[in-house]
Structure 1
Amino acid sequence: MLGPILIALLAMVVVGAIGFALVPSAIGDGRAEQRLKSFQGDIRVNRLEQDASRVRDQRRKDLQQTLKSQTAALNQKKRVSLKAMLFQAGMTIKPAAFIRNSIIFGLAILVLLIVLQVPIFFAPVFALAGGYLLPRIYVNRKRRKYQDKFLDELPNAVEAIVRGVKTGLPLNDSIRVVAKDAKEPVRSEFARVLDQQSVGMSITEAVTVLLDRVPLAEVNFFVVVITVQQQAGGNLSEALGNLAKVLRNRKKMKQKIKAMSSEAKASAGIIGSLPFFVAILVSITSPTYLAPLFTTTIGNIWLGIGVLMLSAGVFVMSKMVKFDY
């Protein structure tokens, strides 16, 4: 008797459950649709996030590739030719004229040494070394000063470009402002970039010419930022703003290293100049004491050995107090 009643109750429960599940959708309940829309929205958000992540990864790869290629090119330019050295020093003299002036300078040193009665087999060696090394030391020193002046003004120029881009100016107009108002040599170099664009170069090719003129890591950073922005897009003002902060931090670090190494440089200068001061003082107090070094064969040999040892010591000390930053 209980069996049919129990079966009837179970049938009623099943029918009620089916009706409860089907009737709300039949009368237009929107909860299922809301769940479907939210699920589709989640899918759309995930796709957007994946696309954004893919774009960021691609831009990062482009930046790394560009930086790698630019750094490789910069490392290859460490051994520069005479023409490039004169160009990077901001000098307009041609290599042929520079070599001619170096030869004339060496001959003048030779004549001066002969007049001072330096031994005949020492005079040509000193004249050759002086005619070859001293002009190049002068060019390298002028090149370094040119680069230091450029680095001192480069953060201000980058910040000026950032302000121009934030106010809505195009990149070329912002560079034109720098070329008009910045200090030398940044003004001339950015004017050169504009001149390169006026003859048909793109902004990417024009800033590469800037790297040829001033082959420094900081300029390489600027070139990479401009190149990547032109190729992959992005927020130029933010990238250049971060670059300006990096340049200022590197400048502070450079000044700190210079201050910390000044004592070692002073010591090296004193030690390197001490033999000359001692020789001058001894010659003043006792003029004939050092004469055998110049009048005898064995004295000339020992004098040459002393000059070689002193040169090696100066070279080692210069390497010890020279830091790359």
Structure 2
Amino acid sequence: MQTILFALLAMICVGAAGIALVPSVLGNDRADKRRKALQGDMRVNRQETAALKDRNQRRKSVQSAIKAQSDALERKQRRVPLKARLFQAGMTIKPAAFVRNSIILGAVAFVILVIVQVQFLFAIPIAVAIAYLAPAWWVKRKKKKYQEKYLDELPNAVEAIVRGVKTGLPLNDSIRVVAKDAKDPVKSEFARILDQQAFGMTMTESVGVLLDRVPLSEVNFFVVVITVQQQAGGNLSEALGNLARVLRNRKKMKQKVKAMSAEANASAYIIGSLPFVVGGLVTLVSPHYLLPFILNPVGHIWAGIAVFMLAMGVFVLNRMIQFDF
């Protein structure tokens, strides 16, 4: 009995040793699979961690680029010197010549006021106001028209760059195509980018010149896309394609707002011109009807009050149709 018991214990010991020393008995393939699966999970986790880190770095670079360009646009939209305003309006006149012409305009206005027998006390401030406000209004008008022409052509230029990048052209060659085939003022502005690069500036720096020339949100979008692509990489054609759609949608929105505000604009013109038209027609029909109003000092006071109220009404109507995008 003891012999059988010892033999049984010996068999158990041998079996346990075999199980411990021969892993294949328990299915070593499954253990290898589990080990490989664990290693694969660790590799996937490392890859996901690296991808997440890369996305975070790209996001930070994009945010820093957007913030930098937004700050630059905000600085450019503040009060700018005369030379920069003439530059942004697309005018080639020098600041000294512009100031000289403004002084000449004020002198001519002063002479005309003196000829029509306006008192010196009133003629001097009126002439100074004309010399300052009229040229400033002209520059602002030229700048607005220049920017409108630029925005009309900018989506076409961006789409041309997208087509060039998709066909395998480098960004510089795509910009060169725009500088050759686009319409002014986009043509000259993109040619300026190439000129800046010829002088040794990087793409990011040369594109930033656009924002100096045309400080608009749409141009800022384009500069941000190019800057981010140059710093962090990415699919440039897709980004510029999205930008082109955004620019066209903004253009459609502006045109829709302009159409909806045309009634208020027409009302401002009618209200502003109606008193003068009525006064001219009354004077034409009955020349002596308004003489007491013109010759009486009390009439002068009421005329000044009427002009002030008329100007306030036109100003309110004008502000009602101004929208920022």
TM-score by length of 1: 0.88
2:133 aligned with 1:165: no
Flag the 1:131–1:47 CA change in 2: closer, same or farther, 3 A.
same
Mapped partners of 1:247, 1:220: distance in 2: 11
| 1:312 shift after superposition | 2.6
Aligned to 1:253: 253
User: Which residue of structure 1 lines up, in the alignment, with residue 307 of structure 2?
Assistant: 307
Give CA deviations for 1:198-244 in whole Å, capped at 9, x if unaligned.
11111111111110000000100111111111111122122111111
Task: Confirm whether residue 216 of structure 1 aligns to residue 238 of structure 2.
Answer: no
Moved more, 311-320 or 241-250: 311-320
Quote the residue 2:268 is aligned against. Answer: 268
SS of residue paired to 2:189: helix
**Which deviates the most, 114-123 or 130-139?**
114-123
| C-alpha distance 27-95 of structure 1, shift in aligned 2 (>3 A) | same
Cα displacement (A) at 1:19: 5.2
SS across alignment from 1:86 = helix
Per the TM alignment, residue 310 of structure 1 is displaced from its structure 2 partner at its CA by 2.5
Kept in 2: contact 1:283–1:289 (CA 8 A): yes
In the alignment, the residues of structure 2 paired with residue 19 and residue 146 of structure 1 have an alpha-carbon distance, to the nearest angstrom, of 91
- Contact kept, 8 Å, 1:162 with 1:237, in 2: the verdict is yes
Is there any run of 5+ residues in structure 1 with no aligned partner, and where?
none
**Do the aligned partners of residues 99 and 109 (structure 1) sit closer, same or farther apart at CA in structure 2, a change above 3 Å counting?**
same
Q: CA deviation at 1:9?
A: 8.9
Deviation at 1:13, TM superposition (A): 8.2
Quick check: 1:142 aligned with 2:142?
A: yes
CA distance in structure 2 between the aligned counterparts of 1:178 and 1:47, rounded to whole angstroms = 44
- Cα shift at 1:22: 5.7
The match for 2:86 is 86
Distance 2:12 2:304 in 1: 116
Partner in structure 2 of residue 233 of structure 1: 233
SS of corresponding position for 1:57: helix
RMSD: 2.8
Structure 2 CA distance, aligned partners of 1:284 and 1:125?
A: 32
2:96 counterpart of 1:96: yes
Q: 2-side partners of 1:61 and 1:18: how far apart?
A: 59
Q: Residues 145, 12 of structure 1: CA spacing in aligned structure 2 closer, same or farther, 3 A cutoff?
A: farther
Instruction: Tell me how far apart the structure 1 counterparts of residues 42 and 247 of structure 2 sit (CA, whole Å).
Output: 43
- C-alpha distance in 1, partners of 2:51/2:215? 35
Query: Structure 2: where are the runs of 5+ without partners?
Result: none
Distance in 1 (CA, whole Å) between partners of 2:282 and 2:126 is 23
My pick for the range that moved more, 107-116 or 268-277, is: 107-116
More off after superposition, 115-124 vs 84-93: 115-124
1:176·1:190 contact (CA, 8 Å) conserved in 2? yes
| 1:122-143 CA distance string (max 9 Å, x none) | 4444433332222221211111
Secondary structure (helix, strand or coil) at the match of 2:83 reads helix
Contact 1:118 1:294 in 2 (8 A): no
Q: Deviations over 1:260-305 (max 9, x none)?
A: 1111111122112222222222222232333345434333333333
Which one-letter code corresponds to 1:130 in the other structure?
A: I
Contact map agreement 2:19 2:25 (CA 8 A) in 1: no
Q: Structure 1, residues 123-182: CA drift from partner, whole Å, max 9, x if none?
A: 444433332222221211111111111111111111111121122221111111111111
Q: Distance in 2 between matches of 1:134 and 1:310?
A: 20
- For the residue of structure 1 that corresponds to 2:234, the secondary structure is coil
Amino acid at match of 2:241: G
Change beyond 3 A, Cα 1:280–1:120: farther
* CA drift at 1:80: 2.3
Query: Could you say which residue in structure 2 is the equivalent of 1:49?
Result: 48
TM-superposed deviation, 1:88 = 0.6
Structure 1 counterpart of 2:286 = 286
1:109 aligns with 2:105: no
SS at 1:30's partner residue? helix
One-letter identity of the residue aligned with 2:29: G
1:317 alignment counterpart: 317
Kindly provide the amino acid, as one letter, of the partner of residue 321 in structure 1.
Answer: I
Q: Give the count of matched residue pairs.
A: 322
